[in-house]
Structure 1
Amino acid sequence: MTSHAKGGRNPKLNKATHRYVFRLTDEENQRFLTLFEKSGLSTKAKFVVAVLFERRINSVIMDKGAMEYCTKLSEFYGQFRAIGVNYNQVVKILHTNFSDKKTIAYLAKLEKQTLELAYICKEILILSKKFEADYLIKKDEL
């Protein structure tokens, strides 16, 4: 009985034809081998592909305007924290050094200034949300 069928493996449907080469230091190689052994995968190639495509990779796009905005907002937050510390110190000094009547009068002035600060903070929050909506890239868009 003679068969005309060719022997060997069945051809793969989606054959991997692209090859990449990279080099590792001795330390990097030790880490690589340790991670490969822990993975339980049968080949290093499968391990590399799994690490590349199954793990989430974050891409960061730097926008100069957004960076400046975040820097200014961070500076503002630092100043806002300092105002809170100063606020607490002022209230303590008022209670310690003044009569109840004067303390109440000064606290009324401080309350008025606090309301103005709260209004400014609300405006900053509105502007920040508008900036984020108009200029910052959403996760869905990536």
Structure 2
Amino acid sequence: MNFGTQKHLPLQGAENRSEVAVLFNIRNGFITEEKNSKQIRKTGRKPKNDPAVHRYSINLNAEENAKFLALFDQSGISVKAHFITACIFQKTVKTVKIDMNAVEYHAGLTKFFSQFRGIATNYNQIVRLLNANFSEKKASAYLYKLEKQTAKMKELLLKVLILTDRFEKQYLHKE
């Protein structure tokens, strides 16, 4: 049933046509509800409560730019805008310097101590085999040699610990 234009539209229960025209849209002869323009949309990104809309611009010469980039690299912050706001509002900017020599030294120590753990396991196995397969005299002779080598390893370990302490004091400034 096509009612044609708005003039010929039968409106029931409405005393005044202007009241109904506000509530309904008439398109191509069909009545549709008018959507409220203030209705919240469900799509898209949620708007921020306090968006940053104020922008400032500065100009730096080559020397100042080099200093700025050096400070930015030391800060470890990935966004320059965040770095600038942190500097302006005097938030603490942490700089982390990675010393590759210290990393290599640490890796070497880790390998060294893993070898010590392996030696300890082998030590226990050797003592069991000596006690199980040899006489007490031969076993005690081999154990004496093993104890001498263990004492040398202990001296070596103490030297490594002393060198590590010296390295930490000279190169790793702990705060």
TM-score range, shorter chain: 0.5 to 0.7
144, 147, 157: which one aligns with 1:108:
144
Deviation per CA, 1:24-83: give whole Å up to 9, x if none.
xxxxxxxxxxxxxxxxxxxxxxxxxxxxxxxxx976421000000000000101111001
The structure with the greater share of residues assigned to helix is 1
The equivalent of 2:127 in structure 1 is 91
Listed as ranges, the matches of 1:15-94 within 5 Å are 21=52, 60-94=96-130
Tell me: CA distance 1:20–1:65, structure 2 relative to 1, closer, same or farther (3 Å). farther
The equivalent of 1:117 in structure 2 is 153
Once the 2 structures are TM-superposed, how far is the Cα of residue 105 of structure 1 from its aligned partner? 0.4
The equivalent of 1:48 in structure 2 is none
Identity %: 45
Tell me: CA distance 1:85–1:58, structure 2 relative to 1, closer, same or farther (3 Å). farther
The equivalent of 1:137 in structure 2 is 173
Q: Which has the larger radius of gyration?
A: 2
Once the 2 structures are TM-superposed, how far is the Cα of residue 137 of structure 1 from its aligned partner? 1.8
The structure with the greater share of residues assigned to strand is 2
TM-score by length of 1: 0.56
Superposition misfits of 4+ residues, deviation over 3 angstroms: 57-60
Where relative contact order (Cα < 8 A, 6+ residues apart) is larger, the structure is: 1
Structure 2 unmatched runs, 5+? 1-49, 53-92
Within 2, Cα distance between the matches of 1:72 and 1:134? 18
Q: Which amino acid aligns with 1:105?
A: A
Number of aligned residues: 88
Secondary structure, aligned partner of 2:98: coil
Within 1, Cα distance between the matches of 2:143 and 2:171? 41
Tell me: CA distance 1:137–1:98, structure 2 relative to 1, closer, same or farther (3 Å). same
Structure 1 unmatched runs, 5+? 1-18, 22-56
